[in-house]
Amino acid sequence: MFYRSKTIKGLLSIVPGKHRLGAYRFLPIFFCIGGVMEWIMINVRIGQETFYDVYRRKKSERQYEQKMADGLLALDQPGAK
């Protein structure tokens, strides 16, 4: 148990800025990780869709279902513009 604790302390002590920034020295690392995750969600396609393509489609489907439930849309009205 103490061996793991020493290993983790050793890894954490490698990150510079301990005296000047304290625990906040890790913020730039997590900021960069968040930026990379956002870039992946926008640009990386799995199949033919990105994360935001799925998000927009699901949001549109929910709005359509809500309008149908509220009775604002009717399927039988041809040519309603």
Binned average pLDDT, 10 residues per bin, the chain of 81 residues: 76 86 90 95 90 92 90 65 53
Q: Is residue 50 part of a domain?
A: yes
Phi, psi of 16 (to 5 degrees): -75, 160
Q: Give the pLDDT score at 69.
A: 85
Q: Is residue 65 part of a domain?
A: yes
Q: Which two tokens stand for residue 64?
A: 């359509």
Q: Is residue 39 part of a domain?
A: yes
Spatial contact of 25 and 15, defined as CB atoms under 8 Å apart: yes
Q: Is residue 51 part of a domain?
A: yes
